[in-house]
Structure 1
Amino acid sequence: MISKSLKSSIHERTRSLFTPVLGRSCAIHPAVLATFVVSGLMHEVMHFYLGRTWPTWEVMWFFIIHGVCVTIEVEIKKKASKSGWKLHPMISMPLTVGFVMVTGIWLCYAELIHCGADVREIEEYVAFVDYVKHCLRIV
């Protein structure tokens, strides 16, 4: 649902805005970047509400890095497909997952630990278990 909303509200509008200036094939790049920037801002707001601390913009950088990498990947795939070359999914999938995990731990998870969200989450689980134990004793 979120990706459809971002596609219709950000990606398609940005692409149609840049198509007369850059052409249809190059207008995808600012559209992808704009979509990742808006998603990054939305995630910064979620981290702000979750951590109750001012943003460090690390989550935003995560999305900017991934937006730039996606635009580079699009261009590489365009050029590679013209020559008939394609990277096998057994290679591309682990590379993609590894890249997302490394950058996610580096930029996103570290911020959650910094603001103490992991400790609060464990405390909430403990409180929930205590509540369930209390309810089962009453019955």
Structure 2
Amino acid sequence: MIILIITCNIVVYIAVMINLWKSDVHQSHKKYRIRATVALPFMVGLVWIVMASIMAPVPIISLVGWYLFYIIIPSQGFILFIFLILLDKDTRFKWLELLGIKQGFILFIFLILLDKDTRFKWLELLGIKKKTA
């Protein structure tokens, strides 16, 4: 039964990827295609393939399967959240609007967290000195 489910998932994944990469609709959207290629296995049942490896008679394959299972299962929802909401500009702004969060606030947080020079300037303004090595 598991083999049938895995086979169906692989067939669906391949069919969607062929359709996605050959389609003229998204020819200019390479980022969209890459995101879909990465996110889709989590939607069509990557877990089933891992479950099949857990049941393998070879102990090392089973052990690797268990490790992958413990990594994939908890991160599955988070990965879908990142690929389907955070990386999609329209959806992200709709959620921010729904939650009542201003876009400027998010930009401010990203500037502080991601830009090293800006982060150090803000820390100095707040009276927190950076550590010197």
Q: Tell me the TM-score normalized by structure 1.
A: 0.35
Structure ranking higher in helix proportion? 1
Q: Tell me the TM-score normalized by structure 2.
A: 0.36
Q: Looking at both structures, which has the greater relative contact order when contacts are Cα pairs under 8 Å and sequence separation is at least 6? A: 1
